[in-house]
Structure 1
Amino acid sequence: MNYSYKRYWEPSTAEVIGLSLSVNTISAALTYPIEFVKVRSQIRTEGVGIRSKNLYMGINPNKVFREIHATGNGLRGFYQGFESHLIGRLSYLFIRNLTYKIIYDRTKPVKAHNDLSHREKGVIAGFAGGLAAFLTSPADLVNTRTIAEGGKPKEWRWGYKGLMDGINKIAATEGGNAALFRGSYANVLRAVILNISLTGPFDYLNEKIWITFGDMTWNKYAALLWASFWGSVATLPFDNIRTRLYAQNADPTKNRLTYSGWADAAKKLIQHEGISGFYVGFYAFYIRTFLYAWTTVFITDKITSDWKRKAGLKEWQI
């Protein structure tokens, strides 16, 4: 027996991608200073056991923010490397959302209830995020080094003038194009876990709140607070490892610690800083994750709701 399932109007792939890139440009610009503080905090923590320092000495995000601001560059100082961050972020989102949309659209029509399960969405999100993270690792590498070098002696700094300058210098001085993907495995793990740990808890709690309280305006934002917390808990250990791999110099004499890979980085982190070292930068990471998601969801929902009304959908269909 053949069945046909009604599908209400949905934005096209081009509209989804275009809106995503526009909205995430705003979100990235608003939250980049928090990302900047988080990376600086992670860099400061490296090897505290070797230096006989307390793990929490000097890594409070408020203190790091004030110290960077006190250098005299004002707010502009928190946007060093923003070009590589923005290009990398938009490239990631283009690849991730395009992959997700294609797989989602190919799967959704055969579902009797016209949607995918939380587990199916999580698997698609994890795969799409991992693929995008691998392909955009060079941009993340350049960006992390640009942020990290602020605490290094001037003669040890990489001095990248921008994304392409950084890519060219890394390829020319550190062993060819393969060097551009140093730390990419940790980056992929980070992206996969972040996508899964955000998508699953968000969809689950958003649905439960809707069933319990009805269609309230705060549903999604409460779910975002919940999902951002668990996403941060699950992802930050891999984010810390990624930062260390990206920020290490090709010359081992210029590193506090030198790592052969993500597993070696995890081993040395535990050895010198303890398990709590995996969660350095948690508050900054959590706040950034929530604010980024909140801004993105708020603007995207507003625009897509307007599109659906213009397409003739009733309020209960939006």
Structure 2
Amino acid sequence: MSESNALANGLAGAGGGIIAQIITYPLQTVNTRQQTERTLKRNKQSLLLQSSNTTTTSAPGTLLQILHVIGSEGWGGLYSGLKPSLLGTAASQVINFNVIQGLGIYYYFYQIFKNKAVAIAAARKLKGHGDGTVGMFGWLVVAAIAGSLNVLLTNPIWVLVTRMQTHTQAERKIMEEKKEALRMAASESSLAGSILREKLAELDSKKPRPYGTIHAANEVYSEAGIVGFWKGVIPALIMVCNPSIQFMIYESSLKRLRARSSKKQGNVTALEVFLLGALAKLGATVSTYPLLVVKSRLQAKQEIGASNSLRYSGTFDAILKMIRYEGLPGFYKGMSTKIVQSVFAASVLFMIKEELVKVFISLADKSKKVVSNLRN
């Protein structure tokens, strides 16, 4: 496959990714808030923390959360962080990487390493080894290399997206803590009722609203400096196996489907690609979801869990504290929402990507013919 096909895949991946992102973004916002919500295990230790107002109640269902966000924050609340998220999607698929011909980080490198893997398989066949096709392990390696490059270069964008999606949630927690502190101060120092009511009314009047990208960037930098933009990069790098599993299932299934279609003298339809994309993403999401929750917890504003027991210094600290205070269910918070969002988004992405690749390649072939005719 030529390098022009890598360009076609990069551009097509960007188009499909951006459209899928816009359609499913409200579900993504709600899912991030579900992941970062703390619900402690019901034991003596959690009851002690509940008495100090450091725990949270169980999150409502996805639909109820969507309606709640619309009611309290407007439609803008569901689309908090959309701009950097679209940039992140474009960066993952079609960013200008040091102006290397405007090609995409993930799909470009995926296509390049895929071409190399195919060439190696063909060379091995000539030497009498293998059948000339790339095996499942080969697809895993190809997707892992492309995914690692993508994660390292785009993690700062996703830190900002997570901050913007969970900002109002974090601010609401902070306000509740301030109110509780006022009530405790009133009980200890006999603070006048009118003064207490005045201060509480002042806090009630401050409704948290989504903030912008620059605000989020300044907040991250003020908290942890440049390093803060790479919070959650370790689980994100481990999660490279997510697209690896996804593309392994997709490529292997697509190869079998194309072989079956060629025998019937037919082409793979857009619906079939849609269903393959859904199946591939479902398998990848279920197997790697706990890492996604850990990543979101690290990237979100730590005030969501004001207690030291709910504040994380790193990946392993987050994993140990989640096991200790929330149990295994904590690693699967919001998974049903994520499955619906990611499977639908992946299906749309693959379907649009395959169709756009056909269009781009067709246009490229036509342009080559035109140039050839002009030369002749």
**TM-score, reference length from structure 1:** 0.81
| Correspondence for 1:3 | none
Distance 1:164 1:95, change over 3 A: farther
Cα displacement (A) at 1:255: 6.6
- Unaligned ranges ≥5, structure 2: 94-103, 123-130, 176-207, 367-376
Cα displacement (A) at 1:209: 5.0
Structure 2 residue identity aligned to 1:153: E
Q: Does structure 1 conserve the Cα–Cα contact (< 8 Å) formed by 2:170 and 2:303?
A: no
Structure 2 residue identity aligned to 1:101: Q
Percent identical residues: 19
| Correspondence for 2:109 | 99
Structure 2 residue identity aligned to 1:23: G
| Correspondence for 1:129 | 147
Residue range with higher mean Cα deviation, 54-63 or 132-141: 54-63
Alignment of 1:139-178 (within 5 A): 139-153=157-171, 156=174, 161-171=211-221, 173-178=222-227
1:79 aligns with 2:89: no
Return structure 1 stretches of 4+ with deviation > 6 angstroms.
53-56, 157-160
Cα displacement (A) at 1:175: 3.6
Residue range with higher mean Cα deviation, 160-169 or 287-296: 160-169
1:25-66 C-alpha deviation (Å, 9 max, x unpaired) = 111111111110101111223546536699993242122112
1:230 aligns with 2:283: yes
- Unaligned ranges ≥5, structure 1: 1-6, 313-318
Greater Cα radius of gyration, structure 1 or 2: 2
Alpha-carbon distance between aligned partners in 2 of 1:273 and 1:55, rounded to the nearest angstrom = 11
Alpha-carbon distance between aligned partners in 2 of 1:237 and 1:199, rounded to the nearest angstrom = 20
Q: Does structure 2 conserve the Cα–Cα contact (< 8 Å) formed by 1:125 and 1:195?
A: yes
What SS class does the counterpart of residue 228 from structure 2 fall into?
helix
Q: Which of 277, 293, 308 is 2:346 aligned to?
A: 293
1:120 aligns with 2:138: yes
1:199-221 C-alpha deviation (Å, 9 max, x unpaired) = 12223334455566865634333
**TM-score, reference length from structure 2:** 0.70
What SS class does the counterpart of residue 153 from structure 1 fall into?
helix
Q: Does structure 2 conserve the Cα–Cα contact (< 8 Å) formed by 1:47 and 1:256?
A: no
Alpha-carbon distance between aligned partners in 1 of 2:56 and 2:272, rounded to the nearest angstrom = 37
| Correspondence for 1:263 | 316
Distance 1:48 1:153, change over 3 A: farther
| Correspondence for 1:18 | 11
Alpha-carbon distance between aligned partners in 1 of 2:165 and 2:6, rounded to the nearest angstrom = 34
1:230-287 C-alpha deviation (Å, 9 max, x unpaired) = 1111121001101111114389857771112111211111222221221111111111
1:65-85 C-alpha deviation (Å, 9 max, x unpaired) = 121122251x33210111121
Computed over aligned residues only, the root mean square deviation of the Cα atoms, in angstroms, reads 3.2
Distance 1:255 1:156, change over 3 A: farther
What SS class does the counterpart of residue 310 from structure 2 fall into?
coil
Alpha-carbon distance between aligned partners in 1 of 2:38 and 2:258, rounded to the nearest angstrom = 42
Distance 1:254 1:85, change over 3 A: farther
